[in-house]
């Protein structure tokens, strides 16, 4: 309607409605013309046809007239203002001369006169009403103002329709968001609330795939890259994207690895909830055929004249087809805003959970303090009666030795051994209760020093068993030296205790991972059935009777607690009769030390037991 009305009022040979995209390229979306003229409807034109400087001028002037593309411009006198000594600024002059390059462009299109009406939306150049005439054409001031008014009125109707469509879509997304918030509040894990119901995270942006990655945990819905590809993509986002939201409809063009999964993720919309937590939406590649008015790769050419180089616009405007790959459907602004709204909701949810966890951590800290106090008092209070039992039983044996038969003497021996075992259990419980995050004094230590101290404490058992102990070059780590020594002492001591018929051969290894050191203690002992690989780290859990191997079942539980307080993990790999290898990790980095050493135990709960 708009082009038809303008052509009817002005009498131009051709009137086009021209819309800009985000890249500055343009497309003719409506056209009214003489039947004899070649159609431009549906053709795209490169950004260089109306460059940024020209678009800025169109934003300043609502209407621009060139009545005669072949006419000569008139000079201004004087050329420079005598007061300011600067040329006159003609930016807002409707009748100013056009640039020689633009005049040449009109000549190449066979245009003798042009009238351009700017269409502005939200203070941004939305598009143009471009009027072309094959010969010169003068338009009166009254008619120009009528065209400008007509353009504004009709374009306001177009804008209203677009805004109505956006409003309806925005209301739909707002409704979906409210449902997702309900799901998140109802589910035990808010991530499940986003992916396990209908509607879900996909509906918030009309995506074909989505992923919620919090720490090392990722939940996906729809078509997404693989877990490994997601991990590498998030690493790239961390290093290259600093904005709260990032979106592109051509991910492979800026992240080359994405070409491998272009069928599911040529388009990406990502929000950063925190440094390690992201929500991602994906759209697949959509192969498109774009009709250009001439080859966009040859939008201009250079001419050499009298030793000078001059840019000259292209001469050909024939249909040129381009197949566009590695692109998805574009993300709409309303979808991007919906993603940002979800980000706010997630941050508020996490902060609220952090407050709840902080309260829980304080309760746990009080409870742990009371339990530790109880363990300490109980152990000391229990020691005295146990000592009395042992002393009086031994005194009984000494005084009445001649009156006791062999069975009575055995019973006394059993009682004394039981008291000794009970005292050992109490000591181990007390040692276990003392291992916590608050008691750790982190410092930069050489692991070899801690190992040497442990081996020194085990010197007698090493000599008696004939154990052969070897080691790799060991690093320097941020840890508590006393607890690290105790960790090695327990693991090497177990390797000696649970030896086979052969002399123990024990190797301590160290390997650098991306963000931690991996240590191993390998032996050639009796081995462990894999089904008990987790059970052995539980307090008081034993796989053998005390008649076979002495001990309380506390050693590996203490090892596990030490490693976890260092933000690492511990596990075993073994087969019966084939020895065992115990692995544990210690995170690296100054930031890790500062984070741990500057916070109390409840922060471990807030971080979910993960290192950053």
Of 76-80, 124-128, 606-610, minimum mean pLDDT range: 606-610
- Among the candidates 113, 143, 165, a domain finishes at 165
Query: Residue 607: is its pLDDT beyond 60?
Result: no
CB contact at 8 A, 551 and 543: no
| Average pLDDT estimate for 369-392 | 68
- Residues in Cβ contact with 165 at an 8 Å cutoff, skipping those fewer than 6 apart: none
Whether the per-residue pLDDT at 564 is higher than 60: the answer is yes
CA distance 421 to 390: 11
Is residue 36 helix, strand or coil?
A: coil
Residue 154 and residue 187 in one domain: no
What is the pLDDT, as a whole number, of residue 115?
92
- Looking at the fold, whether 159 and 177 belong to one and the same domain comes out as no
With a cut of 50, say whether residue 594 has pLDDT above it. no
Structure confidence at residue 299 (pLDDT): 60
Confidence check: pLDDT of 426 > 80: no
Burial 135-163 (b: 16+ CB within 10 A, else e): eebebeeeebeebbebbeebbeebeeeee
- 288 vs 452: CA distance, rounded Å: 68
Cα gap 559→477, rounded to integer Å: 17
Does 310 reside within a domain? no
- Quote the DSSP letter at residue 204: G
598 pLDDT higher than 50? no
Token pair for residue 294?
């001439």
Residue-wise pLDDT tens digits, 44-71 = 888 888 888 888 888 888 888 899 999 8
Of 220, 326, 237, 324, whose CA–CA distance to 281 is shortest? 220
Average pLDDT over residues 12-29: 89
Residue 304 falls inside a structural domain = no
Please give the pLDDT value at position 31.
Answer: 93
Looking at 86-90, 138-142, 313-317, 557-561, which range is the least confident one? 313-317
- In the numeric block, the tokens 């800290």 are attached to 365
Residues 137 and 264 in one domain: no
Q: What dihedral do alpha carbons 349, 354, 360, 365 form, nearest 10°? A: 170
Bigger pLDDT: 499 vs 369: 499
Look at 132-146, 171-185, 482-496 and tell me which has the smallest mean pLDDT: 171-185
| Residue span of the structural domain in which 178 resides | 170-288+323-349
Q: Give the number of domains in the chain.
A: 4
Residues 345 and 362 in one domain: no
Residue 311 binned pLDDT confidence (cut-offs 50, 70, 90): low
Residue-level pLDDT at 303: 62
Q: How far is CA 14 from CA 70, 109, 110, 137, in A?
A: 18, 12, 12, 13
Average pLDDT over residues 331-348: 88
Identify the H or E element spanning 420: helix 406-434
For residue range 157-176, list pLDDT tens digits in order: 777 777 777 777 788 888 88
Do both 340 and 430 map to the same domain? no
Q: Is the pLDDT of residue 390 over 80?
A: no
Residue 23 maps to a domain: yes
Q: What is the CA radius of gyration of the chain?
A: 40
- Residue 299 CB: number of other CB atoms within 10 A? 17
Q: Answer whether residue 602 shows pLDDT above 80.
A: no
Same domain assignment for residues 209 and 147: no
Q: Label residue 310 by pLDDT band (50, 70, 90).
A: low
**Is 191 found in the same domain as 114?**
no
Predicted confidence at residue 267, as pLDDT, reads 92
Alpha-helical segments (H) within 241-332: 262-265
**Reported confidence tier of residue 112, pLDDT bands at 50, 70, 90:** very high
**CA 557/CA 542 separation, integer angstroms:** 11
* Separation CA 209–CA 218 (nearest Å): 13
Closest CA to 263 of 235, 223, 302: 223
Residue 307 has pLDDT above 50, yes or no: yes
Domain CATH for 376: 1.10.287
Residue 358 has pLDDT above 80, yes or no: no
Tokens of 607: 């971080």
Kindly tell me if the per-residue pLDDT of 219 is higher than 50: yes
User: Would you say residue 501 has pLDDT above 80?
Assistant: yes
* Residue appearing with tokens 């930031």: 591
Answer with the residue of higher pLDDT: 496 or 400. Answer: 496
Name the H helices within 35-140: 52-60, 100-109
Q: What per-residue confidence (pLDDT) applies to 294?
A: 64
**Which domain CATH number covers 52?**
3.30.450.40
pLDDT tier, 432 (very low <50, low <70, confident <90, very high otherwise): low
Q: Is the pLDDT of residue 225 over 50?
A: yes
DSSP-based three-state secondary structure for 106: helix
In a domain, 299, yes or no: no
Q: Give me the pLDDT at residue 414, please.
A: 80
Q: What are phi and psi of 313, to 5 degrees?
A: -70, 160
- 335 and 361 in a single domain? The answer is no
Query: Distance from CA of residue 121 to its chain's centroid?
Result: 35
Query: Does residue 594 share a domain with residue 550?
Result: yes
Whether residues 55 and 161 fall in one domain: yes
Other beta carbons less than 10 A from residue 531's beta carbon:
7
Rounded Cα distance between 152 and 59, Å, is 14
- Give yes or no: residues 214 and 160 share one domain: no
Q: Given CA atoms 592, 596, 601, 607 in this order, what sign does their dihedral have? A: negative
Percent of the chain with pLDDT over 70: 79
Is 261 among the domain residues?
yes
Do 566 and 536 fall into the same domain?
Answer: yes
Does some domain include residue 295?
Answer: no
- The C-alpha angle with vertex 30 and arms to 24 and 34, in degrees rounded to 5, equals 120
pLDDT at 202 > cutoff 70 = yes
pLDDT(94) > 90: no
Q: Is the pLDDT of residue 266 over 80?
A: yes
Any domain includes 301: no
Domain boundary among 139, 165, 191: 165
Mean pLDDT of 465-491: 89
Span 574-592, pLDDT tens digits: 888 888 999 999 988 544 4
Q: What is the mean pLDDT of residues 524-530?
A: 87
Q: 3-state DSSP call for residue 582? A: strand
Question: For residue 439, is pLDDT > 60?
Answer: no
Domain boundary among 349, 384, 402: 349
Asked if residue 294 belongs to a domain, the reply is no
Burial 459-495 (b: 16+ CB within 10 A, else e): eeebeebebebebeebeebbbbbebbbbbbbbbbbbb
- Pick 100 or 361 by higher pLDDT: 100
């Amino acid at each position: 309607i708009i082009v038809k009305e303008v052509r009817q009022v002005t009498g131009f040979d051709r009137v086009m409605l021209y819309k800009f995209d985000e890249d500055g390229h343009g497309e003719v979306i409506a056209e009214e013309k003489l039947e004899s003229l070649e159609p431009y409807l549906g053709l795209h034109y490169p950004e260089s046809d109306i460059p940024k400087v020209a678009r800025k001028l169109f934003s300043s002037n609502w209407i621009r007239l060139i009545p005669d593309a072949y006419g000569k411009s008139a000079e201004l006198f004087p050329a420079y203002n005598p007061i300011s000594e600067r040329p006159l600024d003609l930016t807002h002059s409707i009748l100013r001369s056009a640039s020689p390059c633009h005049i040449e462009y009109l000549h190449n299109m066979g245009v003798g006169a042009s009238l351009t009406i700017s269409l502005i939306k939200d203070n941004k150049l939305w598009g143009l009403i471009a009027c072309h005439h094959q010969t010169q054409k003068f338009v009166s001031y009254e008619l120009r103002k009528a065209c400008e008014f007509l353009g504004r009125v009709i374009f306001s109707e177009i804008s209203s329709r677009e805004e109505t469509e956006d409003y309806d879509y925005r209301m739909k997304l707002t409704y979906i968001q409210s449902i997702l918030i309900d799901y998140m509040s109802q589910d035990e894990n808010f991530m499940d609330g986003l992916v396990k119901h209908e509607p879900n995270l996909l509906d918030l942006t009309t995506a074909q795939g989505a992923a919620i990655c919090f720490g090392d945990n990722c939940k996906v819905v729809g078509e997404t890259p693989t877990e490994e590809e997601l991990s590498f993509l998030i690493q790239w986002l961390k290093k290259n994207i600093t904005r709260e939201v990032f979106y592109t409809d051509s991910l492979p063009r800026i992240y080359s690895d994405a070409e491998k999964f272009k069928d599911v993720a040529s388009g990406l919309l990502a929000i950063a909830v925190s440094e390690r937590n992201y929500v991602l939406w994906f759209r697949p590649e959509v192969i498109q055929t774009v009709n250009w008015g001439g080859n966009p790769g040859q939008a201009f050419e250079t001419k050499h004249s009298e030793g000078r180089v001059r840019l000259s616009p292209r001469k050909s405007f024939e249909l040129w087809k381009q197949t566009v790959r590695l692109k998805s459907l574009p993300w709409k602004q309303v979808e991007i805003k919906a993603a940002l709204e979800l980000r706010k909701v997630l941050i508020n949810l996490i902060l609220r959970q952090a407050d709840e966890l902080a309260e829980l951590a304080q309760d746990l800290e009080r409870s742990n303090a009371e339990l530790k106090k109880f363990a300490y008092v109980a152990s000391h209070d229990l020691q005295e009666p146990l000592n009395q039992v042992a002393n009086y039983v031994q005194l009984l044996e000494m005084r009445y030795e001649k009156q006791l038969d062999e069975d009575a003497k055995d019973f006394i021996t059993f009682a004394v051994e039981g008291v000794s075992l009970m005292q050992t259990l109490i000591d181990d419980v007390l040692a276990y209760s003392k291992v916590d995050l608050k008691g750790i004094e982190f410092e930069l230590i050489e692991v070899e020093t801690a190992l040497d101290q442990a081996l020194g404490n085990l010197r007698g058992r090493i000599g008696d068993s004939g154990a052969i102990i070897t080691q790799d070059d060991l690093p320097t780590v941020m840890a508590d030296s006393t607890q690290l020594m105790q960790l090695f002492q327990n693991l090497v001591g177990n390797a000696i205790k649970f030896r086979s018929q052969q002399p123990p051969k024990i190797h301590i290894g160290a390997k650098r991972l991306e963000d931690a050191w991996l240590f191993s203690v390998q032996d050639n002992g009796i081995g462990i059935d894999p089904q008990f690989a987790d059970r052995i780290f539980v307090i008081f859990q034993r796989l053998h009777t005390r008649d076979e191997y002495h001990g309380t079942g506390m050693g590996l539980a203490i090892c596990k607690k030490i490693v976890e307080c260092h933000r690492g993990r511990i596990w075993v790999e073994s087969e019966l009769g084939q020895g065992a290898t115990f692995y544990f990790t210690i995170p690296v980095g100054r930031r890790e030390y500062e984070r741990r050493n500057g916070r109390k135990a409840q922060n471990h709960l807030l971080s979910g037991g993960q290192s950053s």
